[in-house]
Amino acid sequence: MRIGHGYDVHRFGDGDFITLGGVHIPHNRGLVAHSDGDVILHAVCDALLGASACADIGTLFPDTDPRWKDVESSRILAEVLTTVAERGWKPKNVDVVVHLERPRLTEYRDQIRHQLGELLGISIDSVGLKAKTGEGVGPVGESLVIDSMAVVQL
C-alpha cells in the first residue's frame, strides 16, 4: 500500500466557468492556467505521482509544452494513471479538500465525486470531497484563487 499527497492552486481571471474534478461549473470568473486550471484533478494527479514516487505534474506536464495547452485535465490524469499502473499501482480511494469562497459547490458535490470515481476507476463510495471557504480573508477568502489538497491510497 502507498499513500500520496497533492496540492494545487490557480488564480481567478476572466471567464464564465470553472472546471473542478472534471465538472464544468458556470461562474462569473474563470481560472488562469496553461491547461483548464482544474485544481482538484491537478492535486489528485500529484497525489498519485507522489504515492508512486514519480516526478510531479509540473515536471511531467510543463506549462512550456504546447501539447498541454488548454488540454482537459482528465487527459493529464489518464496519462498519470498509466504511469502509475506501469509501476504496478492503482488507486483505492481518494480524499479531496477544495478551498474556495465562490461558487458554492453544494449542488455539484456528488457530481464531482461521481466524475472523480469514473476517472480513477473506483466507486463513488471511495471518493471523499469537502469544500471549504476562506472565511472572507486571505487569497481564497478574497476570491483571488482556488486551491485544493488531495490524499490518495494506492
Please give the residue ranges that form the binding site for Mg ion (CB under 5 A): 8, 42
Q: What is the 3-state secondary structure (H, E, C) of 27-89?
A: CCCEEECCCCCCHHHHHHHHHHHHHCCCCCHHHHCCCCCHHHCCCCHHHHHHHHHHHHHHCCC
**Minimum CB distance to Mg ion, residue 20 (Å):** 12
If you count them, how many residues does the chain have?
154
Helix (H) or strand (E) holding 8, with range, is strand 3-13
Q: Parallel, antiparallel, or unpaired: how do β-strands 127-132 and 93-99 relate?
A: parallel
Q: Which residue is nearest to Mg ion (CB)?
A: 42
**Minimum CB distance to Mg ion, residue 12 (Å):** 13
**Minimum CB distance to Mg ion, residue 71 (Å):** 12
Q: Measured from the CB atom, is 122 or 150 closer to Mg ion?
A: 150
* Three-state DSSP class for residue 139: helix
Q: Measured from the CB atom, is 8 or 101 closer to Mg ion?
A: 8
**Minimum CB distance to Mg ion, residue 21 (Å):** 13
Q: Measured from the CB atom, is 11 or 92 closer to Mg ion?
A: 11
Q: Measured from the CB atom, is 57 or 154 closer to Mg ion?
A: 57
**C-alpha cell recorded at residue 32:** 488562469
